[in-house]
Amino acid sequence: MKEHIEKIALGDDYEGKAEATLVSFRSEHPTLKAVLYLHGYVDYFFQVHMARRFVDRGWNFHALDLRKYGRSMRPGQHPDYCRDMHEYYEEIDRAIDRIREQGVRRIVLMGHSTGGLLAALYMADGAKREHIDRLILNSPFFEFNTGWFNRKIAIPLAALWGRVRPYASMKNELSPFYFDSVYCGAKGEWDFNLAWKPREGIPLYFAWLGAVLRGQRRLKRGLDIRVPVLVLFSARSAYGKTWSESFRSSDTVLDVEDIRRYAPRLGGDVALKRIEGGLHDLVLSALPVRTRVLTVMTEWADDRHV
């Protein structure tokens, strides 16, 4: 399976020149169907085994490294930074155009975590959404996993401050144990670029918080997505200040009950699938679990009952 990487030049933004990267894997045989994948926060595309599974089933597979993430970082840019989720619509539009230029007429859009929120928002008002046949969300980021005060007071206030001081930030307080559960140099089995996906995360920019908060509020009002949606999430979340073996089989980033609660607001045709033993990125779970996840994804994409 050959990897093809294409840089997509985008319009200049508030940090100068911007670009995205489209990573592609083609089926050995002509096909009319393709997947377009959007990664999460402090992330980039490296889940080649997921691409291989779809390619083996006769799909072309494409993944975007969004602007300021992974392969798309340019000198002088703030990593993983945005001021509004709509900023990413340009590269999604361009990727869809590239895919359709290959003769593909059936596209499944897939998003993980923050990329899941972005994919859902795009399906509500993106310019090329009519070319998307189905939507798959892997542990989508529908709510901040924190207490009432932070959700209702602290995060909205920080978001307001981010409008005044766009680069105001604080230390990111994400648990490092999710990183430990997946990285091969810790307690996991996956290798990835530590400059693009660092254990300590990146500064938590208040403007980014505001962008996500507005996207989540839009979701909670209802998106009325008109295509079938599959939402997958772990059977449970886990928390702790010290390492626990439960972190190998739980979502340590999001509260899975938030995903279950808000998923019905996506549209009228939403299927929910709890995954026993799933990590936050379900396709990085232990082998039997990720095999089940990829089976569910590919069969549902092929319009089979799961």
- pLDDT, residue 305, reads 56
Distance CA 244, CA 202 (A): 24
Neighbours of 5 (CB within 10 A): 10
- pLDDT, residue 173, reads 77
Ordered DSSP codes for 10-59: EEEETTEEEEEEEEEE--SS--SEEEEEE--TT-----HHHHHHHHHTT-
- pLDDT, residue 103, reads 93
Tell me the per-residue pLDDT of 106-139, one tens digit each, with 9 for 90 and over. Answer: 999 999 999 999 999 999 999 999 999 999 999 9
Reduced DSSP (H G I as helix, E B as strand, rest coil) percent helix, strand, coil of the chain, to 5:
40, 25, 40
- Domains of the chain from N-terminus onward: 3-144+222-301 (3.40.50.1820)
- pLDDT, residue 296, reads 98
Amino acid occupying residue 10: L
- pLDDT, residue 306, reads 53
Phi, psi of 28 (to 5 degrees): -70, -20
C-alpha distances (whole Å) from 233 to each of 141, 145, 163 are 11, 14, 32
Helix/strand/coil for 4: strand
Tell me the per-residue pLDDT of 78-102, one tens digit each, with 9 for 90 and over. Answer: 999 999 999 999 999 999 999 999 9
- pLDDT, residue 174, reads 80
Give how far the C-alpha of residue 59 lies from the chain's centroid of Cα atoms, to the nearest Å. 20
The answer to whether residues 120 and 266 touch, using CB atoms and an 8 Å cutoff, is: yes
The answer to whether residues 262 and 220 touch, using CB atoms and an 8 Å cutoff, is: yes
C-alpha distances (whole Å) from 302 to each of 54, 83, 131, 298, 306 are 10, 36, 16, 6, 10
Distance CA 208, CA 146 (A): 16
Report the helix count and the strand count for the chain, using DSSP H and E: 9, 10
Helix/strand/coil for 299: helix
Q: Which long-range contacts (CB under 8 A, 24 or more apart) does 12-18 make?
A: 13/67, 13/87, 14/83, 14/166, 15/68, 15/76, 15/77, 15/78, 15/81, 16/74, 16/76, 16/77, 17/74, 18/67, 18/68, 18/74, 18/77
Structure tokens at 49: 């085994």
Low-confidence ranges of the chain (pLDDT < 70): 304-306
